[in-house]
Amino acid sequence: MPERKSGDLGSMSCGNSIFHWGQRSYIMGVVNVSPDSFSGDGIADAEQAIAKGRRLVSEGADIIDVGGESTRPSSTPISIDEELRRVVPVVEKLANEVSVPISVDTYKLEVARQALNAGANMINDIWGLQKEPALAALAAEKGVPIVLMSNQRDTPCHDIMAAVVPDLKRAIKQALTAGVPWEDIIIDPGIGFGKTQEQNLEILQRLEEIRVVGRPILLGTSRKSFIGWVLDLAPEQRSKEVTFVPPGDQRLEGTAATIAIGIAKGVDLVRVHDVREMARVSKMSDAIVRGI
């Protein structure tokens, strides 16, 4: 694995954009086309999803991440055909309407392939090549970056950092072996994926330890349940008797805190639902941390 000095992450080309790591924090805006999204922002209608993507770009998103399958715990997997039906039309239309790169949030090879053919410029793999190693070869073939997440849902652990860092190194090695250039790899510690609430907090406390792998860090804390847990918020309920309050309405301030602290600890890219607000948090954090 290539050696890099701390903070020397270079640049990455993606679509028509170039990301100069370390100069500022970048924003990945989320477009969920899964009606059962944990965050309460799932959209079933393709035209509404496309309109949301355009809006997120206008609010400051540097990348749009399109996902068709809910990643909430205990969610029911959908078929490849259903995921393709949800994702590909949105990617195709957005790719022609926005200037920023489009990422496809999937761990399924055929979904990733067709999304890239439709105009996506990045693969976001929540399983870090554990479920589908061939995603790395696809990224190499298409010349696109890939996000590799450390996911412990199949292998819960006691010492979370002792699991996450080696797992990320394993995924990076797999990607490099498959031909993905070093510069085209982004890592994600996987907040909320197979971790306890205490472990999610521990990862945030120890983010500096992840920097040793030498690749840009994506942080995905937006609206996640550990924020509601810390803030002692009443569980959201979908019922006729109780009005459903989307997590975004209750977890916005908590999300902002995680973004600011993440940037202070070396995060390069934040994946968020509330782009306008978190772009402001990121800009303020950059002014303090990076002096810009």
- Interval 2-54: pLDDT, tens: 544 445 899 999 999 999 999 999 999 999 998 755 444 556 688 999 999 99
**Residue 10, in any domain of the structure:** no
**Residue 13, in any domain of the structure:** no
**Residue 9, in any domain of the structure:** no
Alpha helices in the chain (DSSP H): 46-59, 80-97, 109-118, 134-142, 160-177, 197-205, 225-230, 247-264, 275-289
**Residue 117, in any domain of the structure:** yes
**Residue 125, in any domain of the structure:** yes
Single out the catalytic residue among 224, 240, 251, 280.
Answer: 224
- Is residue 224 part of the annotated active site? The answer reads yes
Q: How far, in whole angstroms, is CA 290 from its chain's centroid? A: 22
Provide mean pLDDT across the span 257-264: 98
By DSSP bridging, strand 26-32 and strand 269-272 are parallel
How confident is the model at residue 1, as a pLDDT?
55
Kindly state the tokens that stand for 20: 């100069």
How confident is the model at residue 241, as a pLDDT?
35
**Residue 20, in any domain of the structure:** no
pLDDT above 70 as % of the chain: 89
Number of domains forming the structure of the chain? 1
Single out the catalytic residue among 271, 276, 280, 290.
Answer: 271
Instruction: List pLDDT tens digits, range 130-161.
Output: 999 999 999 999 999 999 999 999 999 999 99
Q: For the domain that residue 227 is a member of, what is the CATH number?
A: 3.20.20.20
**Residue 8, in any domain of the structure:** no
**CB neighbour burial string for 133-169, b if at least 16 within 10 angstroms, e if fewer:** bebbbbbbebebbbbbbbbbeeeeeeebbebbbebbb
**Residue 109, in any domain of the structure:** yes
Instruction: List pLDDT tens digits, range 160-195.
Output: 999 999 999 999 999 999 999 999 999 999 999 999
Provide mean pLDDT across the span 113-129: 98
How confident is the model at residue 159, as a pLDDT?
97
**CA-closest candidate to residue 56, choices 118, 122, 14, 102:** 102
Q: Give the structural domain span for 216.
A: 25-289
* Rounded distance between C-alpha atoms, residue 16 and residue 36, angstroms: 32
Instruction: List pLDDT tens digits, range 75-104.
Output: 788 999 999 999 999 999 999 999 999 999
Q: Is the pLDDT of residue 279 over 70?
A: yes
pTM over 0.85: yes
